[in-house]
Structure 1
């Protein structure tokens, strides 16, 4: 039986390890890994990707661009998209670009086996082989960033369905920040605009923090139109509270499913209206000393709508999160 070159193209070490673990036993493949779309496309051109497991959200060149280039260049390959972006429109677009199948992250071993079968790859058994996954060292940031990636995709899918839009997903930033560094991160998120921020606390099994959803004031009128509301001061806060409850709740729920934690959320509060970020920091400086900060910058395609979600985990939550993610790193 000829060995088939299989390419795993994903910027996440954790995601690549999960896919290696999920490959069925007895699969006659040689595996190549690429950490972004540009390197992945080069590997396909060099004959290293007769079958490709492709992520969508990647630096340098995303999965959509890779699929478009494959079609434009007439490259002979079969692509299975494996993504945290589970919007209906994302699935439609990748299939229209020629993908053989779409799997949501983290990939289920049985669904992966069936998708590989569609590409002509059949293992000797149904059990995952693990391949060389045990040799890959995964640190906490890798594991946690991939967890966030899946969570933000689920939140975006819910928002897309409610507003009937396509949400453009970023690469999430995950860092441990001191209060001064947090100030700079928030100031950068503001990008010179005035904004309104919604704050919502959360806690679950010793993991606690605050979610901060920042809406740029320039997005308000367009957002109100999407939600079929009049753009009035009286309705603006209610609209943002509804949106924040949806986004923050979906993101934390997605994260909780992956680490087996149920989060309880406090009632969302308007932290500041038409305020500059310096005012928000002064108001809440005592809450943020050192924090594990997750930053996700969402945009809505075709609309002037941008907002930033920050999940700020307390310093004492770090050890609990590391314990919860240990099984993924080993």
Structure 2
């Protein structure tokens, strides 16, 4: 059987291949985005596709849509950190056989394969499938995949709060000076509203910041009122604190649990309201090197967006990378 694993994460590709039955007589290929996967499917090189949803170039929803519209001969199992109920309904409508939540568990994968009669052509028990060449994985690759899974949990809670589907981005994870983030955000014509929550534990410390523009801030109370049937009036500040607390706590809880961390999280506090970015950040942190996880959430139904920045201090980077490094050889 011709099998394709499509995921932009090296870690996810390796994990899925590792979870496949060792004595299964299959030929495994890899794709890093949906367009690469679709090209291989159209060439007749794929019979079974393991498909991520959140990817650059072309996401998993688009791949499924193309397979359905073009009536391509390919079975698809979605493996994703996007656990929103709406996402699962969408992939089912688009013809996916099943949905498996990340991080993948071998037993769950085997159950899905057996349920649909895909476990066939098993080789003798003493035979193991030839492994493909291992890709080099850095601690940052681990942290990116951990972040991808964590943002799925956060999006599910935010979607429940707003009664809407959340468009998940590909998280960006990078070590860089703090001032590069400030320069990217800075625009004298844009006023931002920021809520911050600090966190500390296991020699790791940092700050999570939720940033929304004035339009999004002003629209949030009415949007919540429409969904919950309760009038939030014009208390935008209170609503922003609630949204920030939900998103930040959900992300950090899932992020830390995957790395076996115990992080204590502070109460949310306003970092700046209707301010320019340069007026929010202190001068003494601007030249520090930090590790920044950037997540741009989009809420298409409301035409709203918010940006979450999880910033680990310079002193935390080594400890965080050491934790991530434990997973590289697994």
Structure 1 residue 220: Cα displacement: 2.1
1:195/1:216 contact within 8 Å kept: yes
**CA separation of 1:116 and 1:160: change in aligned 2, threshold 3 A:** same
Structure 1 residue 118: Cα displacement: 3.6
Structure 1 residue 71: Cα displacement: 0.6
SS in 1 for 2:117: coil
Task: Quote the residue 1:285 is aligned against.
Answer: 283
Distance between the aligned counterparts of 1:23 and 1:294, measured in 2? 30
Quick one: which of 71, 75, 81 aligns to 1:84? 81
Distance between the aligned counterparts of 1:171 and 1:223, measured in 2? 24
Distance between the aligned counterparts of 1:36 and 1:300, measured in 2? 23
Aligned: 1:151 with 2:150: yes
Task: Quote the residue 1:26 is aligned against.
Answer: 23
After TM superposition, list the pairs within 5 Å mapping 1:34-183 onto structure 2: 34-122=31-119, 132=131, 135-183=134-182
Structure 1 residue 193: Cα displacement: 2.7
**CA separation of 1:102 and 1:131: change in aligned 2, threshold 3 A:** farther
Q: What are structure 2's unaligned runs of at least 5 residues?
A: 226-230
Task: Quote the residue 2:321 is aligned against.
Answer: 322
2:24/2:129 contact within 8 Å kept: no
After TM superposition, list the pairs within 5 Å mapping 1:241-280 onto structure 2: 241-280=241-280
Structure 1 residue 93: Cα displacement: 0.2
Task: Quote the residue 2:3 is aligned against.
Answer: 6
Structure 1 residue 230: Cα displacement: 3.8
Aligned length: 319
**CA separation of 1:132 and 1:319: change in aligned 2, threshold 3 A:** farther
SS in 2 for 1:319: helix
After TM superposition, list the pairs within 5 Å mapping 1:196-235 onto structure 2: 196-228=193-225, 229-232=231-234, 235=235
1:299/1:305 contact within 8 Å kept: yes
**CA separation of 1:137 and 1:130: change in aligned 2, threshold 3 A:** farther
TM-score (norm 2): 0.91
1:297/1:306 contact within 8 Å kept: yes
1:22/1:130 contact within 8 Å kept: no
Structure 1 residue 202: Cα displacement: 0.4
Q: What are structure 1's unaligned runs of at least 5 residues?
A: none
Show structure 1 runs of 4+ deviating over 6 A: none
SS in 2 for 1:329: coil
* CA deviation vs aligned residue, 1:47-79 (integer Å, no higher than 9, x gap): 222000000011111100000000111111110
Structure 1 residue 113: Cα displacement: 0.8
